[in-house]
Structure formats: C-alpha cells, structure tokens
C-alpha cells in the first residue's frame, strides 16, 4: 500500500499536495498514511474492517477511489482534518469518503 503522493494519478497529485499542506498548516505532525492501493490491498483492508480490526472504515474492493489513484488518507488532529475538509469540499472534492472516514480526501468523482 502506497503512502507517497507521486504514486497517485498525475492530475490528482497537485490536489493531494494541496490538501496535505492544508492539514499540515494546522497539524505539523500530519502524515500521509495511504494513497494508491491495489485491489488485493483494498480487499485485505475491507476484510479487516469487517472483522472489526480497523480503526477506520474501508469500502469493498472495486469501490475505493484509492484503487483509481485519486484518494489520499492523512492522519492528523480532528481540528486539522476539519479545517482542510471544509476547504477541500468547497473546492469540489469529497472529504470523509462515502462512508464517513475523516482521514479520507478524494477527487469526488
């Protein structure tokens, strides 16, 4: 599972850098925890979520923007995520993902 912005789709990379900078401006300890995932990685995360072994929700394989390279997860304080999330959504992105995941930012399409 990748955690580097350069592993994302090229057109999404500037947006991912921008949202990370928004988060890091409030929480300098912010960390990118996930970017692009393979189908197998998404399957493993989803199965762990179903077993109750994951702190964060995961979508079934084939439904995650991570598999398409247009999503980024950032671990940070709630305040930093809310700050960046409001700006991200105003710019047309989707924050929190379709299942209420506060560390998740995606292209929204």
Question: What are 11-24's pLDDT values in tens digits?
Answer: 999 999 999 999 99
List the beta bridge partners of residue 75: 31
Per-residue pLDDT of 87-100, as tens digits, reads 999 999 999 955 68
108 falls in which pLDDT band (50, 70, 90)? Answer: confident
- The C-alpha angle 19, 39, 104, rounded to 5 degrees, equals 20
The terminus-to-terminus CA distance of the chain in angstroms comes to 22
Q: How far apart are CA 105 and CA 85, in angstroms?
A: 8
Per-residue pLDDT of 51-90, as tens digits, reads 999 988 999 999 999 999 999 999 999 999 999 999 999 9
**Confidence (pTM):** 0.92
The predicted pLDDT at position 100 comes to 82
């Amino acid at each position: 599972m990748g955690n580097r912005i350069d592993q994302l789709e090229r057109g999404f990379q500037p947006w991912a850098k921008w949202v990370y900078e928004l988060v890091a401006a409030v929480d300098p300890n912010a960390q990118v925890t996930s970017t692009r995932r393979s189908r197998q990685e998404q399957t493993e995360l989803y199965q762990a979520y179903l077993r109750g072994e994951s702190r964060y929700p995961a979508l079934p394989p084939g439904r995650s923007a991570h598999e398409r390279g247009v999503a980024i997860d950032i671990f940070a304080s709630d305040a930093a995520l809310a700050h960046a999330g409001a700006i991200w959504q105003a710019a047309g992105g989707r924050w929190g993902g379709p299942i209420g995941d506060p560390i998740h930012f995606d292209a929204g399409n």
